[in-house]
Amino acid sequence: MLLSFSMANNGLEHDDVLHIDGSALTLEDVERVAHRRISRCELDEKARAAMESSRGRVTELVESGATVYGVNTGFGHFGQVRVDSKQIDQLQLNLVRSHAAGVGSPLPLESVRAIMLLRANVLASGYSGARAVVADQLIALLNKDVCPVVPRQGSAGASGDLAPLAHIALVLIGEGEAWVNGIRVDGAEALRAAGLVPLVLEAKEGLALLNGTQMMTAIGVLACREFEDLCVVADMVGALSVEALGGRTDAFEPAVAKLRPHPGQVEVALHMVELLADSELADRYGEERVQDAYSLRCIPQVHGAARDVCRMARQIIEVEINSVTDNPIVLEDGRIISGGNFHGQPVAYAVDMLAIASADLASMCERRVNRLVNPNLSGLPGFLAEDGGLQSGLLITQTAAAALVSETRSLAVPSSSDSIPTSADQEDHVSMGAWGAWKAWQAVANCRRVIAIEVLCACEALEFHSPILAAPNLRGFRDRVREMVEPLTGDRVLAPDIARIEAALLEGDLLGRGRG
């Protein structure tokens, strides 16, 4: 069965130790570390050697007396201010402290763990000029399950995600706050609990921890991976809705899809044909109904477009997770170049695309929910209630779905088209990628909830066709739903039903393959 589209091998099927080398991470690696599904991470030995070599070039430049941005100068607007060699370590400490200006509620722990992994991977590439011990400290926090408290707001995606990364760097040096065994403690106590000592930052190392796109990229990874699964489930629940409503299957004819050969459209058309094979419920109206509403007929076109957008976002994010986003960058020939690899625009565009696709996929699903519960459209009892009037059945589920869609459309407004200059106009064009990534993650979550509502409604609608069963290739999916949510026998509180289905979607359980 076409359960998924082009997924990379996560490299961890036979080895739950992740070797960090700066170049080989996958989205699946990041997701598994984020959710604590591997035993430990380790710095690759070749990466360790590359880091020490890069560090040697920084040391040579400091000793030569050359002026290098971020090594012996101030930052941003203060880049022209030379700092005395005796104050270089203090410069890095001051940088971390001053940039830890995040505000708002803390980021979820899984996103912070993903950020830490991605930052360690940048350092491991050997172009940041930091000692290997800096990456070791980050990795040790991951392995010891010490998670810095990182306020969600405060990054404009300019020189990367400066404020969020500064809050992580604080814990490395024994300051700031962290979560240890679910308890929020200060950074020094967190290090003691993990058997670690505070890191003393040297030349360039504070900047090496702060410059980069790791917050927006980490959240983008999680949003992308979750949306990939939702694209598959949307086909499956869409097929259930087609059956419940007696939809026509000729709209999914692969020969038609190939005449407009967008990859996602072709994939979804084939998937729908496979899912609905040998269905006794689809096509039951025969020639009486010559065509269906768009929410049924155009599943390949809309679901397929969502797949294609998700694939584009994955390609961009896959490049980013193994990219050097530091500044300045220490090249192998000894030059230290101050460039702009920290700018978040590629990721900002990618996450905006994810939010837009999530909003539209949710909208498509909500329209099918409406058709399932609306007796004027479904041919089924109103709101799928056995005793309409006394009972309300699934009436309010469509209202909830509509509310979610409206909210998600607001989240889909692109943030990457916005820019507010910062740092005395030194950073005069910023990406706003951090906000875009957060919106995308929330948009995906809302889409998941709308899909959960369609799953609930489609399975309930099929109950009215008993003893006729769902198509053979849909029965396993339907049975997994029924293991967690029983058919309605009367009005009951629906929120727990929706929550159970949503949790199963998040974990991949409804696809028969958890994310572990």
Catalytic residues: 69
d(CA 474, CA 497): 20
Is 401 exposed, middle or buried, given 0-12, 13-18 or 19+ CB atoms closer than 10 A?
A: buried
Any idea what the Cα angle at residue 220 is, between residues 165 and 351, rounded to 5°? Answer: 115
Structure token pair of residue 473: 């290739």
Specify whether the CB–CB gap between 383 and 392 falls below 8 A. yes
Region of residue 196 (phi > 0: left; psi between -120 and 50: alpha; otherwise: beta): beta
- 3-state SS track over 254-307: HHHHCCCCCHHHHHHHHHHHHHCCCCCCCCCCHHHCCCCCHHHHCHHHHHHHHH
Which residues, listed in sequence order, are joined to residue 350 by a DSSP beta bridge? none
d(CA 58, CA 79): 17
Structure token pair of residue 19: 């070797």
Tally: H helices and E strands in the chain: 19, 9
d(CA 328, CA 118): 18
d(CA 269, CA 376): 28
Strand, helix or coil at 43? Answer: strand
d(CA 198, CA 444): 38
Radius of gyration of the chain, Cα coordinates, nearest whole angstrom: 26
Torsion of the alpha carbons at 132, 35, 268 and 404, rounded to the nearest 10:
-120
* φ and ψ at residue 383, rounded to 5 degrees: 60, 20
